[in-house]
Structure 1
Amino acid sequence: MSLLDKLQWRYATKKFDATKKIPADKLEELLADVRLAPSSLGLQHYRIVVVSNPEVRAKLREAAYGQSQITDASHLIVFAAETNIDETYVQKRIDEVVNTRQTSYESVEGYKQMMLGAVSRLSDEQRLIWAQKQAYIALGILTAAASELGIDNCPMEGFSAEQFDEILGLKEKGLTASVIATIGYRADDDPYSAYAKVRKEESELFIHI
């Protein structure tokens, strides 16, 4: 099946089969795909929390208005934006570039100054919005990659970020929950799986200039 076929197959799964778990190798492949998501300046302005612990997910369900996907899906994925994107954060990225590409700090000094300039021009609020936007890009990769692997998924914004941060201890890590997704396998009796997919017509959606 093509990616187009897979995306036609996927839907925002409302009812997961709680007895079906994603095999470890498939989960590892999915996370490897998401790790390669693009981000502005390559800074990867977020961390990704993979929650499988049932006790923790029960608490998170209460912080997500009781939505059953939180506890019934195989795993809950929390995209948490970095709240401290500063010179130290940029330097860590530079260290990674130098070590991975086996190059010198001098050769990437221009890149470093460009990143520092971009960061310094933003207020704390703007940096957080910037980071959250990058997290959504990673969410898009997860949605497509999961579909390619035959894994059902449901992106979700209906939750209390403040409560998620508290339950998961994110604030202490310099993070805040931005968007979440549940992944697993649909229940046979989920009525949403039979609904026709509704999207704008191509002529209404795409503007060719």
Structure 2
Amino acid sequence: MSLLEDLQWRYAAKKMNGEQIPQEKLDYILEAARLAPSSSGLQPYKVFVISNRELLAKIKDVAWGQSQVIDCSHLLVFAAWDGYSDERVSEVFNYTMDERGLPHSTMDDYKNNILGLYEPLGKEWQADHAAKQSYISFAMAIAAAAEQKVDATPIEGFLPPKVDELLNLENSGYKSTLLLTLGYRDADNDWLVNMKKVRTPKEDFITKIK
């Protein structure tokens, strides 16, 4: 199937049946998330893959009781940097230069330019910028899940500080940004499963400027 057909097939499942997805499908989805583009290639986020039922139950309690959290196969928690620093940016760029066989100093001018732009904007702006990068990875995971015929439900309805606490993120430099449940739809109990997919009409969504 084409990507457009896969995206037409997918929807945000409201009920999942608890069936486990094969490891190879999970790995494929995670690799798509890892390969996603990010600003300056910094990838200022990471993904937690949770299948522990006790922990999932606790997360459900701070995610407005959404049943997919406990009935999914795996829950992905995307967490982004809480800010940019010379140490963090240098670590990423130095690793990149090592992988490419180049001196660390190769990226110094670019790194200093980034920090010079970001630092005056403050930690709140930086955290928001990093969170936006995690959304790109999140979208790639959703598309990959559709390709693998795995249901993926995006969830912004949760209390990030509570999830941070459950994952011991308070002093890690990361903040949770998004949840994504992976699993299989419970077609007999999901009110949305047979509903027509509706999106903004093309003529309203696309504006062509010549």
Amino acid at match of 1:57: L
The match for 1:10 is 10
Contact 2:25–2:148 at 8 Å: present in 1 too?
yes
Amino acid at match of 2:92: R
Amino acid at match of 2:25: K
Secondary structure of the corresponding residue to residue 121 of structure 2: coil
Per mean C-alpha deviation after superposition, the further-off stretch among 184-193 and 69-78 is 184-193
The match for 2:27 is 28
> Is 1:146 the counterpart of 2:145 in the alignment?
yes
> Is 1:194 the counterpart of 2:194 in the alignment?
yes
Contact 2:15–2:68 at 8 Å: present in 1 too?
yes
Provide the C-alpha distance between the structure 2 equivalents of 1:42 and 1:117, rounded to a whole number of angstroms: 17
Contact 1:80–1:177 at 8 Å: present in 2 too?
yes
- Listed as ranges, the gaps of 5+ residues in structure 1 are none
Contact 1:86–1:119 at 8 Å: present in 2 too?
no
1:80 is displaced (CA, Å) by 0.8
Amino acid at match of 2:147: E
Provide the C-alpha distance between the structure 1 equivalents of 2:153 and 2:47, rounded to a whole number of angstroms: 16
Amino acid at match of 1:145: A
After the TM superposition, which residues 102-141 of structure 1 pair with which residues of structure 2 at under 5 Å, given as runs?
A: 102-141=101-140
1:24 is displaced (CA, Å) by 1.0
Per mean C-alpha deviation after superposition, the further-off stretch among 106-115 and 32-41 is 106-115
Per-residue CA shift, 1:51-91, capped at 9, x if unaligned? 11001001001011111010001111111111142110011
Provide the C-alpha distance between the structure 2 equivalents of 1:147 and 1:121, rounded to a whole number of angstroms: 40
> Is 1:95 the counterpart of 2:68 in the alignment?
no
Provide the C-alpha distance between the structure 2 equivalents of 1:70 and 1:114, rounded to a whole number of angstroms: 41
1:114 is displaced (CA, Å) by 2.4
Secondary structure of the corresponding residue to residue 192 of structure 2: helix
The percentage of counterpart residues that share the same residue type is 40
Contact 1:17–1:187 at 8 Å: present in 2 too?
yes
Amino acid at match of 2:78: F
Amino acid at match of 1:8: Q
Amino acid at match of 2:52: N
The match for 1:164 is 163
Provide the C-alpha distance between the structure 1 equivalents of 2:72 and 2:93, rounded to a whole number of angstroms: 37
Amino acid at match of 1:194: N
Equivalent residue pairs, number: 208
Provide the C-alpha distance between the structure 2 equivalents of 1:117 and 1:93, rounded to a whole number of angstroms: 17
TM-score by length of 2: 0.95
Amino acid at match of 2:95: E
Provide the C-alpha distance between the structure 2 equivalents of 1:111 and 1:97, rounded to a whole number of angstroms: 13
- Listed as ranges, the gaps of 5+ residues in structure 2 are none
The match for 1:58 is 57
